[in-house]
Structure 1
Amino acid sequence: MVSPSFPVIEVLNSMADGKKYITSEELGKHNKPGDLWISIQGKVYNVTEWAKVHPGGDIPLLNLAGQDVTDAFIAFHPGTAWKHLDKLFTGYHLKDYQVSDVSRDYRKLASEFAKAGMFEKKGHGVIYSLCFVSLLLSACVYGVVYSTSFWVHMFAGALLGLAWMQIAYLGHDAGHYQMMATRGWNKFAGIFIGNCITGISIAWWKWTHNAHHIACNSLDYDPDLQHLPMLAVSSKLFNSLTSVFYGRQLTFDPLARFFVSYQHYSYYPIMCVARVNLYLQTVLLLISKRKVPDRGLNIIGTLVFWTWFPLLVSCLPNWPERVAFVLVSFCVTGIQHVQFTLNHFAANVYIGAPKGNDWFEKQTSGTIDISCSSWMDWFFGGLQFQLEHHLFPRLPRCHLRSISPIVRELCKKHNLPYTSLSFYDANVTTLKTLRTAALQARDLANPAPPQNLVWEAFNTHG
């Protein structure tokens, strides 16, 4: 139904097919929370009210508002979602709707995967992972409760960290609706394994992760690159950009200059304790005034974690061992934080809103795959195929390796980058990126504003 507030525009009623048309320029004017339109396959939809209840949150719709978003819609939605669009149709079609050769091939590929049932065939990886995680957690609890050895306790802490890594992959799968057969069961799995076992809210993860996928490697739209004052992957962040996601300035002040100047040294230590910030981000979101899906369940799940985890730590004989146990578990989990940053820190970045008509190109530009043997797939949780995952986020991880050659060929066909590095080379490349920005930060010819917003450290995650 057409919004009554729709301004006077050029509507081409005289077209031979009898359809009403608007231009992309006119569509682009409907890009605000109270007036939000998008186009899918050339049909224009009013999603102003739908954004308030959209399962993926309002951020993806706001970031792509006023554009054709066909490729992004295909990437994130099953075939059953198309039938829900009719009630949002404005009656208008996009006059200058065009499909690039890259998008045409991408859509064809997505259609072929769907016809083959690949989005529904999840394999047995979830069962294997759950059994592995159960074994790790059981061994951890046994080592803490039934042993008096310091080294056994430290080994138990390492097992807990390894379990958290595997649980994070399962939570990621659940968040993308890849883990269970239905959306409801995926929600339950996400809250249980995310909030209850790791203490990190699945609501917080979906809020940030959906924004990351849509605006991959945009310095002002992608929260996964907004880590000031501790880290900066590009000198463009030295201009104190405004984070569209957080709604505040990412201030590059003297404090940020100091930390960033040594970030190639502090990178690994920061990753070891990055989990602390994720706990803080969970709390800040759950007590915030913004609308949080299933806030009550997320709070209950988080409280479950902060019941069993301190109780487990209290079973250790003294405070030095308790502190060491927690640090060991955090350091092991820090390997995963490194994994996540390797996929994007050294890739190309840009400033500005994501575009709906260069979906494939932006994913190839902003992602880095990690090459490894198939027997190491469990260690990376499928996310070593970062490009494949970004292009097809609903595809279960068991298929990512098999589609990798297909994606590589498609990139080659359209002269687009397909970057795949070994774990070692990815670390080296990331450190070089951080070092380059660090040396630029030391350039006193570009003085930072005389501010000192330490709180910014807690309002970005890393």
Structure 2
Amino acid sequence: MGGVGEPGPREGSAQPGAPLPTFSWEQIRAHDQPGDKWLVIERRVYDISRWAQRHPGGSRLIGHHGAEDATDAFRAFHQDLNFVRKFLQPLLIGELAPEEPSQDGPLNAQLVEDFRALHQAAEDMKLFDASPTFFAFLLGHILAMEAQSWCLQHDLGHASIFKKSRWNHVAQKFVMGQLKGFSAHWWNFRHFQHHAKPNIFHKDPDVTVAPVFLLGESSVEYGKKKRRYLPYNQQHLYFFLIGPPLLTLVNFEVENLAYMLVCMQWADLLWAASFYARFFLSYLPFYGVPGVLLFFVAVRVLESHWFVWITQMNHIPKEIGHEKHRDWASSQLAATCNVEPSLFTNWFSGHLNFQIEHHLFPRMPRHNYSRVAPLVKSLCAKHGLSYEVKPFLTALVDIVRSLKKSGDIWLDAYLHQ
């Protein structure tokens, strides 16, 4: 191609003022290995191999876009693009050759262009600006109902509620640590991967749940390989025993503590300790040690039920499988659906019933989802993309139906292939 073959340059190799080397997608695709990661943003090629470990969002999050056009993900996750570009400049090693398309593979270039126009329209409508009044009211509501505090910490991790991101980060630590007893770093580590690559095995922690549950393409794979660690054709039944009751109480507790210790997040550990100190000191005089422990378990089980049903009704029934290397809009739409809005649903789900809009624009404050939804629906209609909206109860039931379907597929493959 126009420039350089396979030089394997590293950080700082593109000299200021010098012509940039050019690369083909074929050359770029070779650099998606551990310790060797390139990605493309706005047609410029960056070598993030050594810098990925210093990425504020974690090496996995940025690494999931290795050898891909990450332009839309870059714009979706970062608020001040000019500020972030300063960190990218030393990593610049070249650009796409002029004859190369902006995206690799058989992607819909017009859809990519239209989505970027929609993103710009949302910015022009100031839909990424948060309403302080909305979140002040929400904070007061949550202080009175701590079981709903997942909603606020979720918002603090995505939207810029405060103008200074530093205060946003401190507020998230307080809500996540003091009100919930979990690590904000741990939550962001998991959740940002989910938004970057929703419903993709080994990239989205929310669906990488085998061998306990089989979802999507994993059902056929396990069946063909004759793997039977659990009776997967009955997973829609044992889901009620180990899914909603135990996710927060067991899985999140263990994973969260292990993350803080292994990653040495001592500040988060202190925040979590302050939650447990407050919780036990508040109720110990009334219930004693056994009573407080029982109360803690009851709270976590209730939280877990709410968390599983609300977060999974938009994803589990959708396409789940391996990396397809789709454009940003297509990948988010394939993995999400909406639930019909109502005063109850909006409140109970924390506006996450607008999951399509939430995934397309993860930085957008949730009170603006209903405003951008008609624009998203028009984009989907133009390109023949599914914009699925379900009744609330149907969405909940579909979680179980989807688990049963995956279990039946596993059994058929296990017996006949």
Tell me, in whole angstroms, the C-alpha distance in 1 between the residues paired with 2:65 and 2:20. Answer: 25
Tell me, in whole angstroms, the C-alpha distance in 1 between the residues paired with 2:97 and 2:222. Answer: 37
> Which residue of structure 1 lines up, in the alignment, with residue 176 of structure 2?
194
In structure 2, the CA distance between the partners of 1:315 and 1:102, relative to structure 1 (3 Å rule), is farther
Percent of aligned positions that are identical: 24
Equivalences for residues 320-359 of structure 1 within 5 A? 321-322=291-292, 324-333=294-303, 334-352=305-323, 355=325, 358-359=327-328
In structure 2, the CA distance between the partners of 1:369 and 1:305, relative to structure 1 (3 Å rule), is same
- Are 1:282 and 2:256 counterparts? yes
Structure 1 SS opposite 2:245: helix
Q: Residue 339 of structure 2 contacts residue 353 of structure 2 at CA under 8 Å; is this kept in 1?
A: yes
Displacement of 1:36 in angstroms is: 2.0
Q: Residue 69 of structure 2 contacts residue 102 of structure 2 at CA under 8 Å; is this kept in 1?
A: no
Post-superposition Cα deviations, 1:145-171, rounded to whole Å, max 9, x if no partner, equal xxxxxxxxxxxxxxxxxx23x211111
> Which residue of structure 2 lines up, in the alignment, with residue 24 of structure 1?
25
Read off the aligned partner of 1:188 and give its amino acid letter: V
Q: How many residues align?
A: 394
Displacement of 1:321 in angstroms is: 4.7
Equivalences for residues 73-112 of structure 1 within 5 A? 73-78=74-79, 79-81=81-83, 83-84=85-86, 85-95=88-98, 96-98=100-102, 100-112=109-121
Post-superposition Cα deviations, 1:216-262, rounded to whole Å, max 9, x if no partner, equal 11123211012234322236246359xxxxxxxxx9954x323x333
> Which residue of structure 1 lines up, in the alignment, with residue 154 of structure 2?
172
Read off the aligned partner of 1:87 and give its amino acid letter: P
Equivalences for residues 152-301 of structure 1 within 5 A? 163-164=146-147, 166-234=148-216, 236-237=218-219, 239=221, 254=228, 256-258=229-231, 260-269=232-241, 270-276=243-249, 277-288=251-262, 291=263, 295-301=265-271
Q: Residue 193 of structure 2 contacts residue 204 of structure 2 at CA under 8 Å; is this kept in 1?
A: yes
- Are 1:417 and 2:383 counterparts? no
Displacement of 1:101 in angstroms is: 0.6
Structure 2 SS opposite 1:257: coil
Read off the aligned partner of 2:235 and give its amino acid letter: Q
Q: Residue 370 of structure 1 contacts residue 420 of structure 1 at CA under 8 Å; is this kept in 2?
A: yes
Tell me, in whole angstroms, the C-alpha distance in 2 between the residues paired with 1:27 and 1:235. Answer: 28
Q: Residue 369 of structure 1 contacts residue 385 of structure 1 at CA under 8 Å; is this kept in 2?
A: yes
Higher alpha-carbon deviation: 34-43 or 380-389? 34-43
In structure 2, the CA distance between the partners of 1:392 and 1:408, relative to structure 1 (3 Å rule), is same
Read off the aligned partner of 1:408 and give its amino acid letter: K
Q: Residue 217 of structure 1 contacts residue 344 of structure 1 at CA under 8 Å; is this kept in 2?
A: yes
Displacement of 1:46 in angstroms is: 2.1
Displacement of 1:318 in angstroms is: 5.5
> Which residue of structure 2 lines up, in the alignment, with residue 47 of structure 1?
48
Equivalences for residues 57-68 of structure 1 within 5 A? 57-68=58-69
Tell me, in whole angstroms, the C-alpha distance in 1 between the residues paired with 2:43 and 2:177. Answer: 40
Higher alpha-carbon deviation: 438-447 or 264-273? 438-447
Tell me, in whole angstroms, the C-alpha distance in 1 between the residues paired with 2:83 and 2:160. Answer: 16
Q: Residue 228 of structure 1 contacts residue 252 of structure 1 at CA under 8 Å; is this kept in 2?
A: no
Tell me, in whole angstroms, the C-alpha distance in 1 between the residues paired with 2:184 and 2:20. Answer: 43
Read off the aligned partner of 2:247 and give its amino acid letter: A
Equivalences for residues 111-150 of structure 1 within 5 A? 111-136=120-145
In structure 2, the CA distance between the partners of 1:345 and 1:368, relative to structure 1 (3 Å rule), is same
Post-superposition Cα deviations, 1:7-62, rounded to whole Å, max 9, x if no partner, equal 49xxxxxxxxx764210111112223433221112111222333122121111221
Q: Residue 76 of structure 2 contacts residue 360 of structure 2 at CA under 8 Å; is this kept in 1?
A: yes
Displacement of 1:341 in angstroms is: 1.0
Q: TM-score if structure 1 supplies the norm length?
A: 0.78
Displacement of 1:342 in angstroms is: 0.8
> Which residue of structure 2 lines up, in the alignment, with residue 38 of structure 1?
39
Structure 2 SS opposite 1:38: strand
In structure 2, the CA distance between the partners of 1:35 and 1:438, relative to structure 1 (3 Å rule), is closer
Structure 1 SS opposite 2:210: coil
Tell me, in whole angstroms, the C-alpha distance in 1 between the residues paired with 2:410 and 2:318. Answer: 19
Q: Residue 191 of structure 1 contacts residue 297 of structure 1 at CA under 8 Å; is this kept in 2?
A: no
Higher alpha-carbon deviation: 118-127 or 60-69? 118-127
Q: Residue 219 of structure 2 contacts residue 409 of structure 2 at CA under 8 Å; is this kept in 1?
A: no
Tell me, in whole angstroms, the C-alpha distance in 1 between the residues paired with 2:337 and 2:142. Answer: 27
Q: Residue 238 of structure 1 contacts residue 252 of structure 1 at CA under 8 Å; is this kept in 2?
A: no
In structure 2, the CA distance between the partners of 1:303 and 1:447, relative to structure 1 (3 Å rule), is farther
